[in-house]
Structures are given as C-alpha cells and as structure tokens.
Amino acid sequence: MKILLTGKNGQLGFELQRALAPLGEVFAVGTQDCDLADPDAISALVRTVQPELIVNAAAYTAVDRAESEVDLATAINTEAPRILGAEASRIGAWVIHYSTDYVFDGIKQGAYVETDMTNPQSVYGRTKRDGELGLQASCPQHLIFRTSWVVGAHGANFAKTMLRLAAERDSLSIVADQHGAPTSAALLADVTAQLVGRVRREGRQDFPFGLYHLVAGGETTWYDYARFIINQAAAAGKVMKVTPDDIQPITTDAYPLPAKRPANSRLDTHSLRNTFDLELPDWQSGLSHVLQQIL
C-alpha cells in the first residue's frame, strides 16, 4: 500500500510516520515539499505519488493568527482537504483527515456527539468545519477524526509551554473554565494505523467510513492540566520555579485572545469505540508518556 502523508513535521505527522510505516510505503511531505495553499501543487503531488491512501495531518493551526490570515487558513484548512478528496476519488484512493473541537460553539452541557450541529466561533473553527464538508462532498470513502488538545513529544504544545514558563516565572495564571481532554498524538496515530490495517485486511467495500470523535478518555481543564504537568515534572526531578500551588485559576474573560475558544471541548467517543471495538486510554496515561519523553 502506498500512503501519502501530509504534515510530516507536525506533532501528529511525526507520530503517523512511525505508526504507518509497517503498513506500506509512506510518502511523507511537509510544507517544504508541497504548499497546501496552492491547489495546483496539491493536485500535482497526488498525481505524481498515485497513493492508495491519503492521510492529511497538515493544517493551519495558528488559531489566533487565523483571525487576520483568513485566506491562508481557508486555503489550507478548507480548500486543501476538498482538493485532496477530489484527487483521491479520481484515482480510486481514500482519505483520512483530522478535525477539531473548534467546530462547535462550546455551549452544550454534555459531551458533543458527531451529529450535533456545528457552530464555529472562530476563523480556525469555521475553516476546519468547512474542510470537513468539502472532503465529505468530494470523497465518500473518508475517515474524519475530530480531536482536541493534541499533545506530543515532537513539536510545540501546551505541555512544553508550561514547562518552559514554570522554569522562568514565579507563578502562572491558567484558564480554569474550559473543559476538554488532552489527547496524545501517539494515540491518534496508533488508532489511525489500526483502522488502516483493518481496511487493508478486509477491504473497503463494507467499511464504515465517516466522521468520528477521537479523544482520550476523561476530561480536565487547562488549569488542572497545567498542575498535572508540573506535578509530573517535579516527580521526575526537573528543577522549576513554579510549584502546582503557584498556579492560579482564572476565567477565560480574564485572558482575552483574538479567537474565541469553546468553553466545552468534550467530545463523545461512543461511536468510534462501538463501531471499531476500541478502548481509549485516559488522558493522564497518554500525557504521562509524552512527558516521559520530553523530560
């Protein structure tokens, strides 16, 4: 199986190269290899590689900057998935794509299910939602995984930022009224590989393609997430100025940003777990594994 993987230098792309390698020939590309804001470059890439599967781990993820770089975010998050889907359909390939909790407005009381109405509150969220729709329309044989709060040993993320700030500052103020599940890039990659392996064994004819929520088990807030990170770092012997007691909870309103964040990023994974008979670990175990690699 020839697999075209985009976003090879990101948190998820890095892990996907590892997880997909045993399943076939992985042709991994980054921004230096193909400009996903260029439709012609995307089409040329697919037509040159001729993959059986396209895994699109690339995205414009600068959430706040997207508010002022609308055209670029739209090209990468909306148009690129649609074009990848169209090219896949043309050559008889299928597509795996990753989306986000930001497609929701975050006002629901419980966890979001796949059929809940989307209502993105930011340019990033809107472009990712529109990317879902474009791929769904252009390539029926797709898997779209909505996830949240991705963290990995490779690339920039909240955990690394907290460790850096805890070594530099005497205290931290972290938002405590946004809820979600930190999800390791390794988990996303491993589930992806497991389902790719299933398609390779069983074929595509009756495979339950579609959109699924894929996050680690449990939930937390950014505040408790930060405390967990600092606790783990201290237990590992890392010297820091900040202790968990030096982290102060604040409200979202006290830390205004250009892009609005969902207060509720909880995603219900029953559909994924029941359809594919999967067990998803809790967020603490995945994060602990990431921290072991970072520390």
Positions marked active-site: 124
Distance (Å, rounded) from C-alpha 45 to C-alpha 84? 10
Task: Tell me the C-alpha distance between 212 and 42, whole Å.
Answer: 25
Please give the angle made by the CA atoms of 102, 247 and 157, to the nearest 5 degrees. Answer: 40
Are the CB atoms for 51 and 141 separated by under 8 Å?
no
Structure tokens at 241: 């100025």
The answer to whether 14 and 154 are in contact (CB under 8 A) is yes
What's the rounded Cα separation, in Å, for the pair 76 and 143?
18
3-state secondary structure of 122: coil
Instruction: Compute φ and ψ for 10, nearest 5 degrees.
Output: -85, 175
Q: Which two tokens stand for residue 99?
A: 């989306």
Q: What is the DSSP letter of 205?
A: T
Residue in the structure block whose two tokens are 């600092």: 230
219/65 Cα distance (integer angstroms)? 27
Lookup: tokens for 97: 């794509």
Which residues 6+ apart lie within 8 Å of 128 measured at CB?
59, 77, 78, 99, 100, 102, 103, 120
- The DSSP string of 214-277 is ---BS-EEHHHHHHHHHHHHHHTT---S--GGGEEEE-GGGS--SSPPPSB--B--HHHHHHHT
